[in-house]
Amino acid sequence: MLQQECNVDKIGVAGCSFGGYHALNFAFRHPNQVAHLFTMGAAFDIRQFVDGYHDDNVYYNNPPEYLPGAQSEHFQWMNIILGTAEHDFCKDSTFEIARILSQKGIPYKIDVKPFGDHDWPVWREMFPQYLNTIG
């Protein structure tokens, strides 16, 4: 396990685009293992990729579905930054997750860059800024 190898209790997870989805999904499914969550330009609703199929595997890997009912005291202690850009086609998805977190009282920061779209130049600027929040 990563925590044992690095001699830490919790890890940080981050990702861009589909990697951002995976980071968030892992963090909220295993909140006792995650201290920091950074997403950049991510879409979180996987139903768009499963052509109408739905079962427990889809539900429990689809944060907009399972997050409203998820509970853990560890949610309150995560350093969560949801990043997007003004012209990112995933911006609405980021705001939907922010809305769910707000309703649950889970602290987070949202970072909307006033330039760029769904691409690496924006994410390359975001990530070092987010890493600087680890203290």
Tokens 């949202």 label which residue?
Answer: 110
Would the pTM count as exceeding 0.75? yes
Of 118, 35, 40, 43, residue with least CA distance to 82: 40
Looking at domain 2-131, its CATH superfamily turns out to be: Alpha/Beta hydrolase fold, catalytic domain (3.40.50.1820)
Q: What is the pLDDT of residues 64-76, one digit of tens each?
A: 999 999 999 999 9
Q: What is the pLDDT of residues 101-114, one digit of tens each?
A: 999 999 999 999 99
Q: Is 1 a residue whose pLDDT tops 70?
A: no
Sheet holding 109-113, edge to edge: 11-16, 34-40, 79-85, 109-113
Per-domain residue ranges of the chain: 2-131
